[in-house]
Structure 1
Amino acid sequence: MTYSVAVSGASGYAGGELLRLLAAHPDVEIRTVTAHSNAGQPLVAHQPHLRSLEHLTLQDTTPETLSGHDIVFLALPHGQSGQYTDALEDVSLVIDCGADHRLTGQDDWDAFYGGAFNEPWAYGVPELPVGAVGGGTPTGKQRDRLVGATRIAAPGCNASTVSLSLAPGVAAGVIDAGDMVSVLAVGPSGAGKSLKTHLLGSEILGSANPYAVGGSHRHIPEIRQALREAGATGDIRLSFTPVIVPMARGILATSTARIAPGVTDAQIREAWEAAYGDETFVQLLPEGSMPRTADVLGANTALIGLAVDRAADRVVVVTAVDNLTKGTAGAAIQSMNIALGLPEGRALSVNGVAP
C-alpha cells in the first residue's frame, strides 16, 4: 500500500527535513506541501536541495488542503497546530512536529507556552523507557504506545536528547532525579527559519550564546514528563541551559546527575546498556569514547558517551544528535513507521555525512 502524505510548514527547516526523508520512503507519496506566506511558490525555491520534488508547489495551509490524505505532518510554529487537528478527523494519521500535543499537564502548558491547551498525543520517542515505578526494570518502551497510534506528537529536539540521556539512569534507580544538570550546544536551525536578529551569521559566528537561562526553556516540562514516565518519583530537579554555537545543525548535550547511594560503576553502565543495547538508532559508545555532532549529521542516530566522575560523585552523559533528523523529522517518521506496522527504520539511516 502507498500512503498519501501532506506536509505543512514545508518551506521551513523541519518541513524540509521531513520531505528529504520521506522522498526516499517507498511506502509514501508526497502529494501536497503547504506554507503560509510562501504559498503559491515552487517548493524548490525554498528547499533547493530537494531536486526530486521540484514538481511540487506550496499551497495554502488550510484544513481543506490537508484533508483527504492518509498521513498529515504538521511542521508549524508552537501554538498553531491545534487549530487544524480538530478539522482533520478524516485523516488516518496526524503527526505534529510542534509542541501543541506533547504535554499531558495543562499547568505546564500554561506556565511555559500559554494559549489554548490541546489534548496530549502519543509521544514520538520510541526508545524511551517507560513504566518503571520508583526505579527498577522498565515495563516497556515508548514504541509500545505508538503501535497503531493515529495521533502522534513528535518531540522537542532538546527535550528528547536530554530525556534519552538520563532516562536509563532514572529507570534503573542509579541516579538521583532530584539533582540533574544539562548544558547543550545547539545549532540555530532548531529555532526555525524565520528571520531573527540574534540568529544572523554576524551574531553567532565566532561566538557561543546562552539563551532561556534559569529554568525558562519550554522543553523543561517535556523532559520532566518523560523522566516521570521512566520511573522518577518525587521532585525532578533539572538545571537546563542551552547555548547556541556556530554550527547549522546538531545538539551536543552534556548531562550530569548525582549517583545514587551504593551504586557501583558497573551498575551505572549496565543501566544504559540494558536500555539501549538492542536499539538501532540510540547507541551507547564503548567505554572511554565520546560522540561528536559531526558523527550524526543527517542521521537518525543518537550517540551516547558515558563516564563516571567519582570525584564529583556524578554520572556524565554526553549525547549527540542532529536536531532536524533524530531530534525532529527522523523521530516523526520512525514513529510513523511503527504506527503503520512498517519496518521501524524504513527511509532512515544510522550513517551520517562526513566531513
Structure 2
Amino acid sequence: MGIRVAVAGASGYAGGELVRLVAGHPEFDLVSATAHSQAGHRLDAVHPQLTGLDLVLTGTDPMALADVDLVFLALPHGESAALAAQLPPDARIVDLGADHRLADPYDWANYYGGTHAGQWTYGLPELPGQREHIAAATRVANTGCYAAAVTLALAPLIAAGAAQAEDVVAVAASGASGAGRTAKPHLLASEVMGDLSPYRVGAHQHVPEIKQATGATSLSFTPVLAPMPRGILATVTAVPARGVDPQAVLAEAYADAPFVHVLPEGRWPHTAATLGSNSCHLQATVDVDSRRMIVVSALDNLGKGAAGQAVQNANIMCGLPETAGLSVWGTTP
C-alpha cells in the first residue's frame, strides 16, 4: 500500500488538478476527496477530465481527512487554518491557501484580514536551503501562483547582489483559472475574451509574500487578467549591479533544479510551453536604454503555481524523488 492521501477542496480548479496528479502518482493512493457545495456528487461529474476515477466527493470535515498520511488543503484563503488545527499532529499537510505563508501578522491583517494563523515552512524548494526545511516539516505552506512566478525570477538575483532589493517592478498576466471556480460576472467568457484588465492594482495580496521570499524591500506589482484558461507570464525589472549577467546568475542558481529552466539566449518564455507541467521557464537581459534588468517568467498557475508545486513539496516531505508523479514538459498545442 502506498501513501494514503486526501484532497480537501477537490471541486475547485486547483483541487481537480491535485486529484489528477495524485491519482497518477506512483506512490500516492487517493482515498478521499472532499468539497462543500459539491459534496455527494461523483468526482467525474464535477471534473469530466477525470472520467473513470471512481470517487464520490464527501463533505469537508476533519473525520474525512483524519485516517490518511498526507492531506492537501485546496480551500479558499482563510479556511485552512481552522481545519488543519483539527487534524492529527502527525499527518503531513500541504496548504495551497494563504493562511500560513506570511511571517508578519501585520501583513496578514493588512492584505487578508482576520486573525493570523502563524507561519508554516514555506513551500518553494528552489529557494536556498528550503528543500531541507521542507523535508523536515509536517506542515508546509504552498506558494501563491504569482509569488512563485516572480520569486523564481527574482530571488537568486537579490541573493547574489546582482539586483537591488529596493526598486523592483513586476507586471504579471494570469489566466482566469487563477481566480478560482466560483461563478463571478467579470469572469464570464464574454467578459474575458478579447480583453486584458488589471486588478487589485497597488494592493495585491501576494506582495508581502514575494517580498518575504525574495528579500525585496520595495515592490510595485500589477496583476493582469488574461483571456486564457491557465498560465502566468511575469515580467520583473530591477536595477542591476554593474556588469552583471542576470542570465548567468539564474543559470547557476537553478543548475540542479529539475523544474526551473533558464532558456538559451534569444528564446523567451511563453505560457503555452509550460501548460500541464510543473516547470517554470526563465529568460533575462539588461535593457539597452534604461539599463534595468528584465527577467521574464512563465509557468502554469495550476501546475508550478499550485497543484504541481504542492505535489513537489509532498514528495520532499515523504522522502520521495522530487519529480515523482510530475511532468517537466508541457502539453502545447
User: Does the pair score TM above 0.5?
Assistant: yes
Question: Partner of 1:138 in structure 2?
Answer: none
CA distance in structure 2 between the aligned counterparts of 1:206 and 1:182, rounded to whole angstroms: 23
Gaps of 5+ in 2: none
CA distance in structure 1 between the aligned counterparts of 2:75 and 2:52, rounded to whole angstroms: 23
Question: Partner of 2:61 in structure 1?
Answer: 62
Pick the aligned partner of 1:211 from 199, 210, 226. 199
Pick the aligned partner of 1:185 from 173, 187, 191. 173
Whether 1:289 and 2:277 are equivalent positions in the alignment is no
- Number of aligned positions between the proteins: 333
CA contact (8 A) 1:257 1:314 kept: yes
CA distance in structure 1 between the aligned counterparts of 2:198 and 2:112, rounded to whole angstroms: 20
Question: Partner of 2:294 in structure 1?
Answer: 316
Deviation at 1:271, TM superposition (A): 1.5
Question: Partner of 1:137 in structure 2?
Answer: none
Question: Partner of 2:5 in structure 1?
Answer: 5
Deviation at 1:270, TM superposition (A): 2.6
Q: Deviations over 1:257-278 (max 9, x none)?
A: 0113xx2144x33321221122
Question: Partner of 1:99 in structure 2?
Answer: 98
CA distance in structure 1 between the aligned counterparts of 2:224 and 2:86, rounded to whole angstroms: 38
CA distance in structure 2 between the aligned counterparts of 1:340 and 1:26, rounded to whole angstroms: 13
Q: Secondary structure at the match of 1:349?
A: coil
Whether 1:35 and 2:14 are equivalent positions in the alignment is no
CA distance in structure 2 between the aligned counterparts of 1:309 and 1:37, rounded to whole angstroms: 50
Question: Partner of 2:243 in structure 1?
Answer: 264
Question: Partner of 1:152 in structure 2?
Answer: 140
Question: Partner of 1:195 in structure 2?
Answer: 183
Q: Deviations over 1:180-229 (max 9, x none)?
A: 11001110101100011111111110000100102x1000000010012x
Deviation at 1:23, TM superposition (A): 1.2
Question: Partner of 2:81 in structure 1?
Answer: 82
CA distance in structure 1 between the aligned counterparts of 2:328 and 2:79, rounded to whole angstroms: 32
Q: Secondary structure at the match of 2:159?
A: helix
Computed over aligned residues only, the root mean square deviation of the Cα atoms, in angstroms, reads 1.1
Q: Deviations over 1:107-143 (max 9, x none)?
A: 10010001121121111110123xxxxxxxxxxx321
CA contact (8 A) 2:134 2:313 kept: yes
Q: Deviations over 1:225-267 (max 9, x none)?
A: 0012xxx5xxx1111001101110000001110113xx2144x
Q: Deviations over 1:264-323 (max 9, x none)?
A: 144x33321221122110110111210110100000000001111132121100000000
Q: Secondary structure at the match of 1:49?
A: helix
Q: Deviations over 1:310-352 (max 9, x none)?
A: 3212110000000000101111100111111101000001111
CA distance in structure 2 between the aligned counterparts of 1:354 and 1:274, rounded to whole angstroms: 28
Deviation at 1:90, TM superposition (A): 4.5
CA distance in structure 1 between the aligned counterparts of 2:211 and 2:317, rounded to whole angstroms: 25
Deviation at 1:89, TM superposition (A): 2.2
Deviation at 1:70, TM superposition (A): 0.7
**What letter corresponds to residue 195 of structure 1 in structure 2?**
A
CA distance in structure 2 between the aligned counterparts of 1:283 and 1:187, rounded to whole angstroms: 21
CA contact (8 A) 1:186 1:250 kept: yes
Deviation at 1:91, TM superposition (A): 4.7
CA distance in structure 2 between the aligned counterparts of 1:273 and 1:207, rounded to whole angstroms: 35
Q: Secondary structure at the match of 1:303?
A: strand
CA contact (8 A) 1:250 1:321 kept: yes
Question: Partner of 2:276 in structure 1?
Answer: 298
CA contact (8 A) 1:181 1:238 kept: yes
Q: Secondary structure at the match of 1:180?
A: strand
**What letter corresponds to residue 295 of structure 1 in structure 2?**
A
Q: Secondary structure at the match of 1:18?
A: helix
Deviation at 1:3, TM superposition (A): 1.0
Deviation at 1:77, TM superposition (A): 0.2
**What letter corresponds to residue 60 of structure 1 in structure 2?**
G
Q: Matched residues, percent identical?
A: 51
CA contact (8 A) 2:247 2:283 kept: no
**What letter corresponds to residue 40 of structure 1 in structure 2?**
G
Gaps of 5+ in 1: 130-140
**What letter corresponds to residue 258 of structure 1 in structure 2?**
V
Q: Secondary structure at the match of 2:190?
A: helix
CA distance in structure 2 between the aligned counterparts of 1:111 and 1:124, rounded to whole angstroms: 22
Q: Secondary structure at the match of 2:49?
A: coil
Moved more, 281-290 or 293-302: 281-290
Pick the aligned partner of 1:164 from 152, 156, 181. 152
CA distance in structure 1 between the aligned counterparts of 2:247 and 2:274, rounded to whole angstroms: 22
Deviation at 1:26, TM superposition (A): 1.3
**What letter corresponds to residue 243 of structure 2 in structure 1?**
T
CA contact (8 A) 2:196 2:225 kept: yes
CA contact (8 A) 2:73 2:97 kept: yes
Question: Partner of 1:136 in structure 2?
Answer: none
**What letter corresponds to residue 164 of structure 2 in structure 1?**
D
CA contact (8 A) 1:69 1:91 kept: no
